[in-house]
Amino acid sequence: MWKYGRRLYLVILLAAVGMIQAQVPPPAPPASAASQLAEKKPDYSKEAFLGEQDQTRIVFENDGTGTRETTARVRIQSDAAIQRYGALTFPYESGTQSLEIDYVRVRKPDGTVIASPPENIQDMPAEITRQAPFYSDLREKHVAVKGLGSVRN
């Protein structure tokens, strides 16, 4: 019994030492380094695109169903990004899920908004179903994004 109590005491002592070390704040960087970090802002002008907002809201109901709502805002800055975001693909399982696309909009630099019409949305089988029919409930919705043009325009 004494051995057990001694081990317990050592474990508690080591845990207390670990907590004490965790409370010591890290040393502050020199004033000149801190001011350089504050003044230096990252330059994203050469990136193809910037993810400005990506928000997902998931709600689970008591009956076992649920909804997932995703909203994203992407700043397009190059022709490569136009190719990447010119046609959007959203996969889902038709056996257990349904997918609704409420809107896809393009906001131009001058403030005008161009919405992609519902007829630009196509529901089709996923690519894998052609090679492996076992996954026949996998589907994709494809959206051709209207209003994306050359970045130079």
- The string of pLDDT tens digits covering residues 76-92 is 999 999 999 999 999 99
CATH for 49-144? 2.60.40.3140
Specify burial of residue 45 (Cβ count, 10 A radius: 0-12, 13-18, 19+): exposed
Token pair 């695109």 is found at: 49
Q: How far apart are the first and last CA of the chain?
A: 82
Domain limits of the chain? Answer: 49-144
pLDDT of amino acid 153: 46
Nearest CA to 138 among 85, 94, 88? 94
State pTM to two decimals.
Answer: 0.66
Bridge partners for 70 per DSSP: 56
CB 139 within 8 A of CB 121: no
**Which pair of structure tokens corresponds to residue 95?**
């056996």
CB 150 within 8 A of CB 76: no
Percent of the chain predicted with pLDDT > 90:
50
Which DSSP category does 140 fall into? E
pLDDT per residue as tens digits for the range 106-127: 999 898 999 999 999 999 999 8
Rounded CA gap, 92 and 126, in Å?
A: 9
